[in-house]
Copies of this chain bind each other. A is one copy, B any other.
Amino acid sequence: MSDVIYDVVVLGGGAGGVPAAIRAAQLGGRVAIIEAGEFGGLCMNRGCIPFCHMAEVSRIHGSLALGKEMGLDVSGVSLNYATFRKRQDELIRFMREGVIGMLNKRKVRIIQGKGKLVGRGKVEVKGDIISYRNLILATGAKWLKPDIPGMDLEDVVTTDYLLETESLPKRVLLFGTSPWLLEIAQFLHHFGSKVILATDGKSILSAENKTIRTRLAKAMKNQGIGISSRAQILDLSKKKDGLHVLLKVKEKEDTVVVDRLVMLKRGAALDGLGLSTVGLGGQGEYLKINDRMQTAVDNIYAIGDITRPEERHYSHAASAGGMIAAENAMGLQERCFDPRTVARIVFTQPQVACVGLTEKEAKKAGHEVMVGAAPLSMNPSGMILSQTMGLVELVSEKKYGEILGVHMVGDGVAEMIGQGILAMQMELTLEELARATFPHPTLSESLPEAARQAMGLPIYLP
């Protein structure tokens, strides 16, 4: 096989690598994809998909309260984790087989094994050398464990534990800044765990608009989930009654006793890749790329989790980056990645979905900023759905009214943010959005109303 030179070799078969390989093959390339673990990567096997599945059962369970108000009486509600796990495992297996099927259909060569760079143009997998004209690095993330006394105790786990256990822990502390932890907190809460969520950030979702994150935090607290921000873990010790976690929260120390501490922190999976053999060693915690997804080496691209700090690790960014990398590798006219239109989504109840600049970021970027907001509690569909915490907020610049950011909290906003994404992509103005005829009664109507509110001309708001 040593005489084959692939147009594109993709290292990593996850959310970024798979569309990269397919896109390159679509463009006529001879393509190979190398995966050490399971196709579908972190997102499909141990991230977005299982967590979204968890969020969905949480949502249905949570909607029983609204149902009751509407006359739907149920008695004897119980949640069976074994049934849930079975469906989840089958779902993921089905999706994984789908991915492999698609790769085969596009005639992408599938190579199972750990790939290692061995000089320019060459990757070694289980002793075989694979030659490439272009390489797309998409090895994703690894879990990081901070250096805290007791961190190696058995009861300190990652989220992987929740996907493998037969029964869920009764008392859980979740620690980290990942939005996934918010989804997991609600899931565990619905399944009967006592949940505390602690973050070292100044709040949950600390980078988002205050209006948005405080509404989610309030909703979660109302649901009975403990939230501690500016928290640090000082010490861990296993005792008879459980895992003792010494937490420092805003200068105050306190011991929390739980059955499991779930840590979630991702780092770029760069170890053992052989980056130095191509001159990409010593770049730090993640790989640096330009907006064409190119590393410092012309024919080596990188996408997804290995390229960006933790807070921007969205699998749709990996997919979009993957397709762009493939197009550039295949010599299509120059394709660039637009990070402005990558939405930040949390599948909580209420959901959070934001795209573009926050108010603070817009001001920092030098814009004279106009903000418009429409609470979903004043939207007809929002009233039907008792969306007391919901809000749609627009950040725009004053001169042309161009929309710079769209921020939403509310049930179902993950499907509404596409409107914000298109607004950003098409450089929509407040005036244009205000003129959009959105259907009635929907939550989406709050988008044009927020635009009108920003201009001081709301129709349905005080």
Contacts from A to B (Cβ < 8 Å): 15, 19, 22-23, 26, 43-44, 48-49, 52-53, 56-57, 60-61, 63-64, 66-67, 69-84, 87, 91, 94-95, 98, 101-102, 105, 314-317, 319-320, 323, 338, 341-343, 345, 353, 378, 380-381, 383-385, 412, 414-419, 421-423, 425-426, 428, 432, 435-445, 447, 457, 459-460, 462
Given contacts A49-B380, A426-B432, 17 further A-B contacts (CB under 8 A): A19-B459, A26-B457, A52-B380, A53-B70, A69-B83, A69-B87, A71-B79, A71-B83, A74-B76, A91-B384, A316-B437, A415-B444, A419-B419, A419-B422, A421-B438, A422-B422, A425-B435
With A66-B60, A72-B79, A460-B102 known to touch, is A317 a contact of B418 (CB < 8 Å)?
no
17 contacts between A and B (CB under 8 A): A26-B459, A53-B384, A60-B72, A64-B74, A71-B80, A73-B77, A98-B378, A101-B462, A105-B462, A323-B459, A341-B436, A343-B437, A417-B444, A418-B419, A418-B439, A418-B442, A421-B439
Whether B343 contacts A439 by the Cβ 8 Å rule is: yes
* Cβ A440 vs Cβ B319 within 8 A: yes
Out of B44, B319, B415, which one reaches A442, CB within 8 Å? Answer: B415
- CA distance in complex: A22, B67 (Å): 34
Task: Report the separation of the CA atoms of residues A443 and B353 in the bound assembly, to the nearest whole angstrom.
Answer: 14
Copies per complex of this chain: 2
Q: A60-B66, A60-B72, A75-B76 are in contact. Are A95 and B380 (CB under 8 A)?
A: yes
**Considering the chains assembled together, what is the distance between the CA atoms of A265 and B182 in angstroms?**
48
Please state if A78 and B70 are interface contacts (CB–CB under 8 Å).
Answer: no
Q: Contacts A440-B315, A460-B102 known; A84 to B57 CB distance under 8 Å?
A: no
Contact of A385 among B44, B56, B317, B459 (CB under 8 A): B56
Contact of A384 among B52, B315, B342 (CB under 8 A): B52
Chain B hits for A419, CB < 8 A: 418-419, 422
Picked from B73, B343, B444, the residue with its CB within 8 Å of the CB of A78 is B73
CB distance from A78 to the nearest CB of B (A): 5
Taking a contact as CB atoms closer than 8 A, the residue among B22, B314, B437, B439 that contacts A440 in the complex is: B314
How far is it, in angstroms, between the C-alpha of A102 and the C-alpha of B227 when the chains are bound? 38
Residues of B within 8 Å of A462, CB to CB, are 101-102, 105
B459, A442: Cβ atoms closer than 8 Å: no
**A353: chain B residues within 8 A (beta carbon):** 439
Contact of A416 among B72, B383, B415 (CB under 8 A): B415
